[in-house]
Amino acid sequence: MVVNDPPSRDEAKAAEAAREAREFRNALGAFPTGVTVVTTVDADGRPVGLTCNSFASVSLNPPLVLWSLLVYSPSMNAFQNASHFTVNVLSAAQRGLARRFATRADDKFSGVAWQAGLGGAPLLEGAVANFQCRCVDRYYGGDHVIFLGAVEAYAYTGAEPLAFARGEFGTFTASRPEDAC
């Protein structure tokens, strides 16, 4: 019979930290959000983008929005140096794009229909809305960098937005109190 060594103090600490991180993520997942792909271009003019649900409105006058990016993200360099970014709000029909842009692939844009917006940042075809922003500030927030954008142009449609909650994609259904009777 093989008797395993008990976990070391460091292993036990790491396991506890992982459990706490999972719990925190689970709690955050109770807050439903939309799903966006935030885009920009790198120094060579190549499109860069990632799936993001940390997007939030900040101010109406002036119009400001924010989102945050993991400091270790391969996309960080491009966003740190870009004058502009675009927040593309995905439609319910764009789950595939949400998955694709949540990976580290180099060819995320291959086969994706887009056109260059302000500062070259890609506007994705079929998005429910887009916000074209000039990057006006960045703040460190723990393991993320918060990007603050001044909205210079925006557009929206009546298409159904993609939703995200408890780690799953879905759709939003509006309901009124009288519907419950």
Ligand X SMILES: Cc1cc2nc3c(=O)[nH]c(=O)nc-3n(C[C@H](O)[C@H](O)[C@H](O)COP(=O)(O)O)c2cc1C
Binding site residues, ligand X, CB under 6 A: 35, 50-54, 67-70, 73-75, 102-104, 164
Compute the residue count for the chain.
Answer: 181
Place of tokens 């142009």: 153
CB of 48 to ligand X, least distance (A): 7
Which residue number, 15 or 139, has a Cβ lying nearer to ligand X?
139
- In the complex, the smallest distance separating the C-beta of residue 29 from ligand X, rounded to whole angstroms, is 10
Q: b/e for 25-40, b at 16 or more Cβ within 10 A?
A: eeeeeeeebbbbbbbb
Q: Which is nearer to ligand X, 59 or 103 (CB)?
A: 103
Compute CA 115 distance to the chain's CA centroid, rounded to the nearest angstrom. 20
Nearer to ligand X by Cβ, of 37 and 123: the residue is: 37
* Residue 120 C-beta: closest distance to ligand X, Å: 17
| Residues sharing a CB contact under 8 Å with residue 66, sequence separation 6 or more, in sequence order | 54, 55, 56, 58, 146, 147, 148, 149
- Shortest distance in whole angstroms from residue 134 CB to ligand X: 20
- Which CB, 67 or 131, lies closer to ligand X? 67
